Amino acid sequence: MQSDNRIFDDFAKVINGFAGTVAGMGREAEQSARGRAREWIGGLDFVSREEFETVKAMAVAARDEADALRARLDALEAKADAPSSV
């Protein structure tokens, strides 16, 4: 009986060792995949949210300025096209 228990103990140790090795390989594969994903994403031309918001604000200001200039130009053209009362 003692030898039967020892065989089962040895078998359990082998299975536990195998399970630990497989788990370690899984963690290593996951870390490797994450590292490659970071490298791939880091190589793309993404902008930060702050940069995006800054450029968006600049575009809004430029549009407002263009609208104001268009209104001034329309007013000047209307004034130039009006018959002069001399």
Q: What is the pLDDT of residues 40-65, one digit of tens each?
A: 887 777 788 999 999 999 999 999 99
Element holding 56 (H helix, E strand): helix 49-81
Q: Can you tell me the mean pLDDT for 14-43?
A: 90
pTM reported for the whole predicted model: 0.45
DSSP 84: P
Question: How far, in whole angstroms, is CA 58 from its chain's centroid?
Answer: 22
pLDDT of residue 8: 87
DSSP state string for 12-53: HHHHHHHHHHHHHHHHHHHHHHHHHHHHHHHTS----HHHHH
